[in-house]
Structure 1
Amino acid sequence: MSDARVKESVNPLARNPLDVLASAHALQSEMCDAMERIADGLPDEVDRRLCARVASCLQFDLPLHHHDEEACLFPILRNRALPEDRVDKVIERLASEHESDNDFASEISEALELLAQGGRPDNPDMLGYMLRGFFERYRRHMLWENALVLPLARLRLNPDDLAALQARMSENRRQAG
């Protein structure tokens, strides 16, 4: 995970907003790797800067990405999917996971901010358990999105859909800014 704050942006040079979502998944994978390093270092070998970067990603970038998918991608994909794509249940499941992931991420980010400021967790084993539970689950979540949702979106969305998706994602960033 780079030192610069991981901030998803809709690059005007990007040809396809689905590439932006895929890039966000790559950054989230790095975030999961960073969480694993933090968990492995508890309680005494904690990189404070890494904790601050992950906390920021969990507080700001992850909810924005989830909003991009739920409010922008998923509705467009539902409209374009064919009945045989059977995407409704997958999208319902992913949206449900987003909600619980956002709640869990909020709790974890508070603990990581404490570590970033030089504090120590009351229960390092519990924090390690929470970190591991989150990144293991989130890696599976991204696998579903990368293996099912993004390929189906690439297959079904037309240029007008992609333009609308990019416009809505850009608006999300303006509102979040």
Structure 2
Amino acid sequence: MTASASGERSSFARNPLDLIAHAHAHQMQMCDAMERIADGLPDEIDRRLCAQVASCLLFDLPLHHHDEETALFPLLRQRSLAEDGLSEILDRLASEHSADTDFASEIAEALDVLGQGGRSANPDMLGYMLRGFFERYRRHVHWENTLVMPLARLRLTPDDLEGLAAMMDQHRRQAD
């Protein structure tokens, strides 16, 4: 990551909330892909799609959760007002992140087998797992988009956004 002569960031020049919103859109596409995979089991397997979803579940999702839990949510806790009722919502979302990350790694393992040309030992169970995950995760992203993101755009200051961008940038450098 290089800085310009004026010291501005180059990677997160855009609003970091837009990057989180973009990640949410990407996650909805991931859920759509998981639904296509579940619908194709056991015989119509798009191996490339399975590998892409497995990668997203193992790398993109945990990074996004880390951004929210260590950067966005703490800022929102500082800036939100009591009447926002955000504390309980953030607690719930963070709890869901933990469960989703664990479940995602199990699904990714099964999808990786399919992506490498193998077969599922129990396609009905895998389909059930995929559906359980993407249905729940779609609701999760909906709640974040409906409740968290509008409050973040309303309450976070320009300095908060700069700090959020810096933390997200750091998370990506650490992930490389």
Q: How many residues align?
A: 168
Q: Which has the larger radius of gyration?
A: 2
Correspondences of 1:5-16 after superposition (within 5 Å): 12=11, 14-16=13-15
Shift of 1:12: 2.8
2:164 alignment partner AA: L
Counterpart contact for 1:78–1:87, Cα < 8 Å: yes
What residue in structure 2 maps to residue 126 of structure 1? Answer: 125
**TM-score, normalising length: structure 2:** 0.93
Q: Distance between the aligned counterparts of 2:10 and 2:124, measured in 1?
A: 40
Q: Which digits, 9 at most, give the CA deviation of each residue in 1:117-165, with x for residues without a partner?
A: 1111111000000000000000000000000000000000000000000
Counterpart contact for 1:14–1:20, Cα < 8 Å: no
Runs of 5+ consecutive residues of structure 2 not aligned to the other structure: 1-8
Q: Distance between the aligned counterparts of 1:41 and 1:14, measured in 2?
A: 40
2:95 matches 1:63: no
Shift of 1:15: 2.5
1:55 alignment partner AA: A
Shift of 1:79: 0.1
Shift of 1:31: 0.2
Q: Distance between the aligned counterparts of 1:163 and 1:13, measured in 2?
A: 9
**TM-score, normalising length: structure 1:** 0.93
Moved beyond 6 Å, runs of 4+: none
What residue in structure 2 maps to residue 150 of structure 1? Answer: 149
- Identity rate, percent: 71
SS of 1:46's equivalent in the other structure is coil
SS of 2:117's equivalent in the other structure is coil
What residue in structure 2 maps to residue 78 of structure 1? Answer: 77
1:137 alignment partner AA: R
What residue in structure 2 maps to residue 42 of structure 1? Answer: 41
